[in-house]
């Protein structure tokens, strides 16, 4: 599948621009569970259950807390992102490959933009033209169509000339419907063995890779790539 037409490259952040194995998001999950416990006065098992329920039903734990309990987003975001970033290491090869992409490079994350900037700094990936965190999209998280519409309105790009990289398959459905190239990074909802065996994915996932750097390295200078 050809990428030569792509002039806007959109990347998720967590577990996309760093490997899940570093367990950065695991720190956030622990803090989210603790926050739910305090905010709702529930036990740890119930907080863990609710966190997963809100993620499934609302896109993120925060969206569920806002919708169902009126939780204020900014104190929550500051708390759950107060983590140890030292587990992240710079990736100059990935930085070079993102920088070499023809056109505009954007981060679109369900986290806040201040947290995203810290992750990018620790990864040596300060090569993006814009960061759109959840506050920039009026706290509508992916996969809510309003999140993508807000980024599209702010950036003014043609979605049929864009590509989106995500670790969560459900977050690629709207981009695919808009005409973007869609790339699943990592295992998604499945294990690495299943992915390696070309397990079928949802039709809105056009490409999948376990190695983002290698995938980008396979793009020619003009953005061309053979069908995967």
Three-state DSSP class for residue 69: helix
Query: Is it the case that residue 192 has pLDDT exceeding 60?
Result: no
Please give the domain boundaries of the chain with CATH numbers for all domains: 8-18+89-217 (3.40.50.1000), 24-80 (1.10.150.450)
Residues 6+ apart with CB under 8 A from 78: none
Other Cβ atoms less than 10 A from the Cβ of 26: the count is 12
Tokens of 50: 């609710």
User: Where do runs of H (alpha helix) occur along the chain?
Assistant: 24-40, 44-58, 61-69, 73-80, 92-99, 113-123, 145-155, 173-178, 192-196, 212-217
In this structure, are residues 214 and 91 in contact, taking their beta carbons and an 8 Å threshold?
A: no
Phi, psi of 123 (to 5 degrees): -90, -5
Bigger pLDDT: 38 or 187? 38
Could you tell me the CA-to-CA distances from 128 to 89, 149, 174 in Å, in that order? 18, 20, 22
pLDDT band at residue 87 under the 50/70/90 scheme = very high
pTM: 0.90
Selection from 97, 121, 118, 130 nearest residue 217 by Cα: 97
* DSSP letters for 88-111: ----HHHHHHHHTSSSEEEEE-SS
Q: 225 falls in which pLDDT band (50, 70, 90)?
A: low
* 16 pLDDT tier (thresholds 50, 70, 90): very high
* Mean pLDDT, range 31-46, rounded to an integer: 97
More confident residue, 221 or 146: 146
């Amino acid at each position: 599948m050809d990428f030569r037409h792509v002039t806007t490259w959109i990347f998720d952040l967590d577990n996309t621009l760093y490997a899940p194995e570093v367990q950065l998001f695991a720190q956030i999950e622990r803090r989210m569970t603790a926050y739910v416990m305090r905010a709702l006065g529930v036990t740890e098992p119930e907080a863990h259950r609710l966190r997963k329920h809100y993620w499934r039903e609302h896109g993120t734990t925060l969206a569920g807390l806002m919708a169902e309990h009126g939780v204020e987003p900014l104190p929550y975001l500051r708390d759950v992102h107060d983590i140890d970033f030292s587990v992240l290491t710079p990736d100059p090869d990935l930085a070079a490959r993102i920088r070499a992409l023809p056109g505009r490079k954007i981060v679109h994350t369900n986290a806040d933009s201040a947290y995203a900037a810290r992750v990018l700094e620790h990864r040596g990936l300060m090569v993006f033209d814009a960061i759109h965190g959840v506050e920039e999209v009026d706290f509508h998280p992916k996969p809510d169509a309003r999140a993508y519409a807000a980024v599209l309105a702010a950036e003014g790009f043609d979605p049929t000339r864009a590509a989106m990289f995500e670790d969560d398959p459900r977050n690629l459905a709207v981009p695919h419907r808009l005409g973007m190239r869609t790339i699943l990074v990592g295992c998604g909802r499945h294990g690495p063995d299943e992915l390696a065996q070309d397990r079928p994915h949802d039709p809105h996932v056009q490409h999948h890779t376990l190695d983002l750097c290698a995938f980008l390295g396979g793009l020619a200078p003009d953005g061309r790539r053979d069908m995967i």
